[in-house]
Structure 1
Amino acid sequence: DGMAVFESAVICDYLDQLAKSQGISKGVIPESGPARLSALKWQGLADGMMAATARLYADSQREDGDRSEDVMERQAQAITSGIEAILDGLPALRTEEPHLGTWSVLIALYYIDFRWPDRRFDIPVRVRDWMAIMSERESFTETTFHLPHDGD
Structure 2
Amino acid sequence: MGIIIRVARPEDLDVLLEFEQGVVSAERPFNPTLIDGKIQYYDLNYLMSTEQAVVAVAEEEGIAIASGYALIKKAEKPYFNFDTYAYLGFMYVKPEYRGRGVNKLILDFLMDWSKEKGISEIRLDVYDKNESAIAAYEKAGFEPLLLTMRLRS
TM-score, length-scaled by structure 1: 0.31
Task: Looking at secondary structure, tell me which structure has more strand per residue.
Answer: 2
Ranked by relative contact order (alpha carbons within 8 Å, sequence separation 6 or more), the top structure is 1
Task: Looking at secondary structure, tell me which structure has more helix per residue.
Answer: 1
TM-score, length-scaled by structure 2: 0.31
For the pair shown, which has the larger CA radius of gyration, 1 or 2? 1
